[in-house]
């Protein structure tokens, strides 16, 4: 028995997963891809089943001071869905497990499930199972999503090739700034419980934080236009993290341009007001539930007019690393540095 | 907005699940069965996929004072597997999510995953995904299992018919008594930390509690002998609860006999020493991870010599309810009463 003591905080999430799962082997030929992509891939003969799972802990993933339970439920479904979409798949079923302390009433749990219900109705997803148990503190949610994808249309993080275009959907940084605003108002509220939070000017940011949507229409577009991304990843963990994953797994370099990053006007203004860099918010903020993907240059005509798809750079040789070309034409190496 | 306040403890787990999921509809024709059986059933064309999920909270599902992390991991896999087996399926893939407080070191998490690894190797199961996050208190595990079953061999809780035989596997009540012994020794230890726990005499009970196994060989037997149970359920929630589920879902009555209950000699002796009824331990103890199933009487010759299958009664008309015929020939109604 080893008596060494390694603190988890010194390790980081990805290194932890790598360390604890290194000995595991796959026994079944149906297990096509295991750990290491947005979802696991299981062969059913006719198509692939995609499986992904998220665990959300109160006080870590969400704060009930400003996040209504309905939104927690809705966002939990969308977050899990984003992983299925990032494989170019469609979500069909979910299971939801909850652990709840006796602080919660039936009415509170019902509110949570109203959010889950809303997301299930909106995205046509079936809740097919789950578990309920008590917790010693707070609320913990675990959602597993089961999707499917036509075999030939599966998109992995692996597959990007030099000269491919690098694209992102939607706009970046807003969810992170929404969180900063909510945290600021929470602190003011803690000092003065009679204050009215000033949230109206930040509606876009707060909506991106509290009620994100899944990019199902992009997957539909790929299908209609017969586009097959060479690689794809969900960037709810941040754009920089997504770029580094594709860099590592595809074995390519990536160069992106600061002036191509899709940043909403309100995101710019708010970042400035809070003395933050909107570029860093876009790179590392996370929780945007957007897609990062690469496509061959020949596919450009099919996507360049789409209002929610933005070409931000191109794929290079792996020796060039992951680079940001700034507005002042400097080349900066992008790393996993968070905040 | 309703202002009523219903405490969850007044509701019970099954009523809670019923209440929060009553509005949910199934949208996909592939969702064959949702909530309400041991696992969800999804149609892939060639066969059915089975999906089930369990959430285990430290201090609720396990106590790390006497349950080594390796056993927590092993038992978590077996527990989820039991739900797949109860559908007459085989488990192929699992995902494991953990939330952990900073009290745990990497070495502790590795020990947990060693248990998961041992179970995966023993039962040929592939760990294909998961999530890790921090928790504000203790360890929470969420396991989702994905199995498969030939369509014609699917067993539900529904399907038992009058005159069918009622069978259980293994022996009952031991895991519950193992827990009582561990709790007793824990209390002694709290008073005198120098004491050596006296566990040797209770090896069978403690093994049943800490390291249960899954009844995969019964599913193989069904396959070899071409037996299709008319209904089946995992009884880790207790035999009584399993009988009542089949009663409700199949719309039948069930009569079982006290003198047919498979109770190990050590279970008898320990129950007696602790002033507990071994019959009640067998009925309500739970955590035995055994199977309860019904078969037509014509199948009796195929199972009656099997050392781990016990015929404990028969299916009746629903009007007769769920009954235990005691050793003194009294007929007692079985209800959901726990401990």
- Binned at pLDDT 50, 70 and 90, residue B3 comes out as low
Report pLDDT digits (tens) over B136-145: 889 999 999 9
Cβ contact, residue pair A28, B93, below 8 Å: yes
B-chain CB neighbours of A55 within 8 Å are 97-99, 131-133, 140, 142
* CB nearest to B129's CB, from A53, A100, A113: A53
- Interface test mutation site (partner A, options B53, B58, B114, max chain A beta carbons within 10 A): B53
pLDDT at B11 over 90: no
Angle at B162 between CA B158 and CA B165, to 5 degrees: 85
Q: How many CB atoms lie within 10 A of CB A163?
A: 12
Residue that is written with structure tokens 């932890």 in the block: A16
Among candidate residues B220, B182, B193, B202, the one with its CA nearest the CA of residue B268? B202
B131 known ligand binder: yes
Chain A nearest-CA distance from B26, in A, is 5
Q: How many CB atoms lie within 10 A of CB A9?
A: 8
Instruction: Report which secondary-structure segment, H or E, holds B92.
Output: strand B90-100
Identify the pLDDT of residue B45. 93
Q: What is the CATH number of domain B165-333?
A: 3.90.650.10
Cβ contact, residue pair B40, A128, below 8 Å: yes
A-chain CB neighbours of B46 within 8 Å are 44-46
pLDDT at B53 over 60: yes
Contact A104, B6 (CB under 8 A): no
Residue ranges, comma separated, of all CATH 3.30.1330.10 domains in chain A are 8-153
Q: How many CA atoms lie within 13 A of A211 on its CB side?
A: 12
Among candidate residues B167, B157, B209, B170, the one with its CA nearest the CA of residue B308? B170
Chain B nearest-CA distance from A104, in A, is 7
pLDDT at A1 over 50: no
Chain A nearest-CA distance from B230, in A, is 22
B157 known ligand binder: yes
Report pLDDT digits (tens) over B70-81: 999 999 999 999
Instruction: Report which secondary-structure segment, H or E, holds A53.
Output: strand A48-57
Q: Are strands B165-169 and B90-100 parallel, antiparallel or unpaired?
A: unpaired
pLDDT at A2 over 60: no
pLDDT at A93 over 90: yes
- Binned at pLDDT 50, 70 and 90, residue B322 comes out as very high
CA distance B277 to B270: 10
In the sheet where B48-57 sits, what is the strand order?
B31-33, B40-43, B48-57, B139-149, B90-100, B126-134
- Binned at pLDDT 50, 70 and 90, residue B1 comes out as very low
Cβ contact, residue pair B128, A40, below 8 Å: yes
Query: What are A142's two structure tokens?
Result: 């675990």
Query: What are B176's two structure tokens?
Result: 């519950």
pLDDT at A7 over 90: no
Identify the pLDDT of residue B338. 45
Query: What are A132's two structure tokens?
Result: 């309920």
Among candidate residues B216, B199, B217, the one with its CA nearest the CA of residue B208? B199
CA distance B165 to A176: 60
A-chain CB neighbours of B137 within 8 Å are 136-138
- Binned at pLDDT 50, 70 and 90, residue A339 comes out as very low
Identify the pLDDT of residue B82. 96
Identify the pLDDT of residue A191. 87
Cβ contact, residue pair A6, B56, below 8 Å: no
Residue that is written with structure tokens 């802990």 in the block: A57
Identify the pLDDT of residue B339. 33
Cβ contact, residue pair A42, B124, below 8 Å: no
Identify the pLDDT of residue A226. 97
Among candidate residues B209, B138, B75, B101, the one with its CA nearest the CA of residue A135? B138
CA distance A8 to A41: 29
CA distance A27 to A21: 14
- Binned at pLDDT 50, 70 and 90, residue B336 comes out as confident
Identify the pLDDT of residue A6. 85
Residue that is written with structure tokens 């109705």 in the block: A121
CATH class of this structure's domain A8-153:
alpha beta
A-chain CB neighbours of B135 within 8 Å are 57, 60, 140
Cβ-Cβ pairs closer than 8 A, A with B, add up to: 260
Cβ contact, residue pair A28, B126, below 8 Å: yes
CA distance A337 to A330: 19
- Interface test mutation site (partner A, options B103, B129, B156, max chain A beta carbons within 10 A): B129
Residue B216 phi, psi dihedral angles, 5° rounding: -60, -30
CA distance B132 to A11: 12
Residue A233 phi, psi dihedral angles, 5° rounding: -150, 145
| Beta bridge partners of residue A256, listed in sequence order | A313, A324
Contact A261, A277 (CB under 8 A): no
Q: How many CB atoms lie within 10 A of CB B307?
A: 6
B287 known ligand binder: yes
Cβ contact, residue pair A57, B133, below 8 Å: yes
A329 known ligand binder: no
Question: What ipTM, to 2 d.p.?
Answer: 0.92
Report pLDDT digits (tens) over B151-167: 999 999 999 999 999 99
Give Rg (Cα) of chain A. 20
CA distance A145 to A51: 6
Chain A nearest-CA distance from B113, in A, is 6
B202 known ligand binder: no
Cβ contact, residue pair B137, A140, below 8 Å: no
A234 known ligand binder: yes
CA distance A45 to A53: 23
Identify the pLDDT of residue A337. 64
Contact B70, B112 (CB under 8 A): yes
Report pLDDT digits (tens) over A228-252: 999 999 999 999 999 999 999 999 9
Residue ranges, comma separated, of all CATH 3.90.650.10 domains in chain A are 165-333
Q: Which chain A residue has the Cα nearest residue B148?
A: A44
Identify the pLDDT of residue B337. 64
Query: What are A279's two structure tokens?
Result: 């570029």
Contact A207, A288 (CB under 8 A): no
Chain A nearest-CA distance from B237, in A, is 13
In the sheet where B331-333 sits, what is the strand order?
B231-234, B291-295, B165-169, B309-316, B253-257, B322-325, B331-333
Residue that is written with structure tokens 């719309």 in the block: B251
CA distance B187 to A252: 59
Identify the pLDDT of residue A5. 84
Between A7 and B156, the more confident residue is B156
A-chain CB neighbours of B56 within 8 Å are 133
**What is the pLDDT averaged over residues B18-38?**
91
């Amino acid at each position: 028995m080893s008596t060494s003591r390694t603190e988890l905080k010194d390790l980081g999430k990805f290194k932890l997963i790598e360390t604890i799962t290194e000995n595991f082997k796959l026994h079944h030929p149906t297990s096509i891809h295991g750990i290491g992509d947005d979802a696991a891939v299981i062969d059913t003969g006719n198509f692939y089943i995609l499986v992904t799972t998220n665990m959300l802990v109160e006080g870590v993933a969400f704060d009930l001071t400003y996040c209504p339970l309905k939104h927690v439920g809705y966002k939990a479904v969308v977050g899990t869905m984003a992983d299925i979409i990032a494989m170019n798949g469609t979500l069909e079923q979910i299971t939801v497990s909850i652990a709840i302390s006796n602080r919660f009433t039936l009415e509170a749990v019902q509110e949570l499930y109203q959010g889950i219900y809303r997301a299930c109705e909106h995205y046509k997803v079936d809740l097919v199972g789950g578990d309920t148990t008590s917790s010693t503190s707070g609320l913990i949610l675990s959602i597993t999503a089961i999707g499917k994808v036509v075999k030939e249309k599966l998109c992995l993080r692996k597959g990007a090739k030099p000269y491919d275009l690098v694209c992102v959907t939607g706009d970046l940084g807003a969810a992170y700034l929404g969180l900063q605003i909510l945290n600021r108002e929470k602190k003011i509220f803690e000092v003065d419980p009679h204050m009215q939070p000033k949230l109206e000017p930040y509606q876009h940011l707060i909506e991106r934080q509290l009620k994100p949507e899944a990019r199902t229409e992009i997957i539909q577009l790929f299908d209609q236009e017969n586009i097959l991304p060479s690689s794809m990843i969900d960037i709810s963990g941040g754009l920089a993290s997504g770029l580094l994953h594709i860099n590592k797994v595809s074995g390519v370099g990536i160069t992106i341009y600061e002036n191509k990053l899709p940043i909403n006007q309100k995101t710019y203004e708010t970042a400035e007001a809070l003395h933050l860099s909107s570029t860093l918010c876009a790179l590392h903020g996370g929780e945007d539930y957007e897609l990062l993907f690469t496509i061959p240059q020949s596919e450009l005509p099919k996507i360049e007019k789409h209002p929610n798809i933005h070409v931000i750079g191109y794929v290079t040789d792996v020796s060039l690393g992951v680079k940001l070309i700034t507005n002042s034409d400097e080349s900066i190496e992008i790393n996993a540095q968070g905040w």
